[in-house]
Amino acid sequence: MAYALRDVEPAKLHRLQPVASPRVRTAQGKLALAEARVLRVEAELRLILVEAQVSQLEARLSYVEAELAEVRSQRDRLMRP
């Protein structure tokens, strides 16, 4: 007889799931560790990328600030009587 989930007591739900062998659990543990390492490497790569972008933006900001200072200087010279 097939059981509907509503017919099974919550304490017995674990019996409906197949029990993984020790080899499978070991493989799952190794997979979880590998996934954690991949996530850490991805985070480090994102940080490197962001740091490079920040450096480029800082260089652009310096250029724009210098250009703005030049434009203001020219404007001030033109506004003098």
Domain spans of the chain? 20-79
Q: What is the pLDDT of residues 13-72, one digit of tens each?
A: 555 556 678 888 899 999 999 999 999 999 999 999 999 999 999 999 999 999 999 999
Sole residue written with tokens 């962001």: 50
Model pLDDT, residue 22: 84
Neighbouring C-beta atoms of residue 26, cutoff 10 Å: 11
Model pLDDT, residue 3: 46
* C-alpha span between 11 and 23 (Å, rounded): 26
Is residue 1 over pLDDT 80?
Answer: no
Model pLDDT, residue 54: 97
Residues 6+ apart with CB under 8 A from 77: none
* C-alpha span between 52 and 55 (Å, rounded): 5
